[in-house]
Structure 1
Amino acid sequence: MVRTPPPDGSTLTAARGGRLDVPELPTLDPGITLLSTEEGATGPLQALVLDHLLLQGGEALWVDSHGHAQSQLLGRLAPSRRVLDRVRVARGFTPTQHATLVERLPERVTPNTSLVVLPAIDGQYRGDELPRENGRELFLRSLATVGRLARERDLPVLVTRRRDDEFGAPAAAAADATVACDRTEFGPRFRTEGFETLVYPGESDGTVQTTLAYWTRILEARDPIHGATATPDEDREPSVSSAGAEGVR
C-alpha cells in the first residue's frame, strides 16, 4: 500500500465549490486486498472502487453478495455517470451461483479490466443451503480461484468478509494487504500498515473529517483530472451495468 499523490502537486477546485487539495487514499495494488470494516458497511468499499477507477482507468468486475453494489449510493459518490458505466456487476444469490460467477471470472477479464471486487466473499457459503463442510470447501475453492486470478493477471482484487471469525479466516490469510476502515466520532478513517487517514486539509480551520460527503468531494476532484466531465443527461439517476448469475456466460 502506498499513498496516492496529487497528479501535479496542486490544489484543485471541487465540483461543489471551494478549493480542495487532492487527498490521499489507500491505493489498490496487484494482489488481494482485504478491506476490514464493520458488517454491512458499503461506503468505504464503494469509495475505494470509484477512486481506483478514476485514477487508474479501466473497468471493475464486481461479483456482488449481500447487497453491497447499491446503485443509489454509488450514484451519490460517483462524480459522473461515465464512471458507473465502467462498473460491471454480477450478483450471486446462492452458494452455487456465487461460486459459478467466481469460477467464470478469468474468462470475463479483458485488457480493460483494472480491478476485481468481491464484497462479503464468504457470505453466501455460510447459509443453511449447504452443510457447513461443503460450504467451506466451496468457499476455499472460490478463494483459490481469486488468488490465481490476481497472480496470473497481475490484477488488484478488493474483498471484504461477512464476519471476522474462523470461517472467514482464510480470506485474511490469502490477502496480500489489509485496509482497515474504522468508524470514529468524526466519521470513517482508512488505515493500513504504513498509512492512516484521519482528516484531510480544508480551508477554514485546516482540517475536514473523513465523512461520506467529503469522499464525494474527493471523487469529484479526481474527475476533472482524467477528463470524465459530466454531460447534461448525467444528472439523472445513474445505473450500474449488471447481470445475474445466469447472465454471465
Structure 2
Amino acid sequence: MPANRRSGGRPEPELPELASGVRLLDVADEERATGPLHSLVLDHLLTNGGTAVWVDAGGHAVSQSLASLAPSPRTLDRIRVARGFTAHQHYDLVRELPEQVDDDTSLVVCPAFDRFYRGTETYADEGEDLLLRALATVAGVADRHDVPVLVTRSTRDSFSEPLAAAADETIRCEQTEFGPRFVADEFETLVYPTGNGAVQTTLAFWKRVLQARVSAAGAAETPTPEVTVDGAY
C-alpha cells in the first residue's frame, strides 16, 4: 500500500486502512494515543461510510477532540459510545456487542481494552479470565460481521500480551518531530507534507529509493563482501 496519495501533484498524508479483524493500535505512550486513535476512526468512517460502535474505557471517547478533527459534526452522529467504569461493566458491554453490531456497522472501537481487568480482585485470575473472554467476543464479532475491531492497550506487559497475540495486525504509532509515524504490515508513513508544496521525507523513504536503484542496476545480485571484525580498527 502506498504511504501517500497524490492530488494536484502534491502528496497528501495518508493513514493505514483498517481491514476486517482485530487491529491493535500500539502507541508507546498511552496518554498520547487519543489523537492517533481518533484519526484512524474518523478516517475509516469518512472513507468507508457506516457507523462505529465504541466501548470506551479510560475516557478515550472525547467528543471535543473528535469534533476538532472531524470535517463535519455530522460524522460524530455515526459513532455510538457506551462507557464502562469497572471490569464487570466493561465485560458486560463487550458481551452485548453481537447484538449492537448490525449491517450498517463498519467499525468497532475498544480502547484501553485491558485497563479495568487489571484491578479485578474478586478471586484469583478473574481479571485475566474476563480479559480473555472479552477478547474472544470481539474476535468473534470481527469474524462474524467482517468488520475491523480497533483496540489499544493501556500498558505493554505480559498481562496485555493476549491482545497482541490475538491481533490480526499491529499498527504501531510513534511521535516524531514531523508528526505521527504509522507502521503496519503493508503501510509506513514515509513523507510528511509541510506546506507550500514542500515535504519532509524519512530515512525509510530514502532507504526504499536506494533499494529500488540497486535493484534496477542489477547490483542486488552482487554478493556482499564479507567483513571480518577482530576487535580492532
- TM-score, length-scaled by structure 1: 0.74
Checking the alignment, whether the CA contact within 8 Å between 2:4 and 2:11 is kept in structure 1 is no
Match of 1:68 among 60, 65, 82: 60
- Alignment RMSD (CA, Å): 2.2
Distance 1:82 1:132 in 2: 45
Q: Assess if the C-alpha contact under 8 Å between 1:126 and 1:132 holds in 2.
A: no
Question: How far apart in 1 are the matches of 2:167 and 2:141?
Answer: 13
Distance of aligned partners of 1:113 and 1:4 in 2 relative to their CA distance in 1, 3 Å threshold: farther
Report if aligned partners of 1:3, 1:27 keep a CA contact under 8 Å in 2: no
Match of 2:168 among 176, 190, 196: 176
Name which of 55, 58, 70 aligns with 2:50: 58
Post-superposition shift, 1:132? 5.3
Identity of aligned residues (%): 55
CA shift, 1:135, in A, is 0.6
Corresponding letter in the other structure for 2:51: E
- CA deviation after TM superposition for structure 1 residue 185, in Å: 2.4
Aligned: 1:148 with 2:145: no
Hey, what's the Cα distance between the residues in 1 that align with 2:114 and 2:124? 12
Change (3 A) 1:128 1:90: same
* CA distances 1:86-118 after superposition (whole Å, capped 9, x unpaired): 011000001110000000001011111000000
Q: For 1:80-119, list aligned pairs within 5 A.
A: 80-119=72-111
1:23 corresponds to 2:20: no
In our comparison, the structure showing a higher alpha carbon Rg is 2
Map 1:106-145 → 2, pairs under 5 A: 106-131=98-123, 133-145=125-137
Whether the 8 Å CA contact 2:179–2:192 is kept in 1: the answer is no
Please tell me whether residue 10 in structure 1 is matched to residue 7 in structure 2: yes
**Which residue does the alignment assign to 1:32?**
22
What is the CA–CA distance in structure 2 between the aligned matches of 1:207 and 1:131, rounded to whole Å?
A: 55
Residues 47 and 152 of structure 1: CA distance in aligned 2, closer, same or farther (over 3 Å): same
Measured after TM superposition, the shift of residue 3 of structure 1 is 4.7
Q: Once the two structures are superposed, what CA deviation does each residue of 1:163-197 show, in whole Å capped at 9, x if it has no partner?
A: 11000000000000010000122322111133211
Letter in 2 for 1:44: P
Q: CA deviation at 1:200?
A: 2.9
1:202 deviates by 4.6
Change (3 A) 1:51 1:88: same
- Structure 1: 5+ residue runs without aligned partners? 12-18, 210-249
Letter in 2 for 1:179: I
Distance 1:64 1:53, change over 3 A: same
Q: Contact 2:132/2:162 (CA < 8 Å) preserved in 1?
A: yes
In structure 2, the partner of 1:46 is: 38
Q: Is the Cα contact below 8 Å between 1:35 and 1:178 reproduced in 2? A: yes
Secondary structure at the aligned position of 2:125 is classed as: helix
Which has the larger displacement, 157-166 or 21-30? 21-30
Which stretch of structure 1 is more off in the superposition, 125-134 or 35-44? Answer: 125-134
How far residue 21 of structure 1 moved from its aligned partner, in angstroms, is: 4.4
Q: Greater relative contact order: 1 or 2 (C-alpha under 8 angstroms, separation 6 or more)?
A: 1
Structure 2's unaligned 5+ residue stretches are 202-233
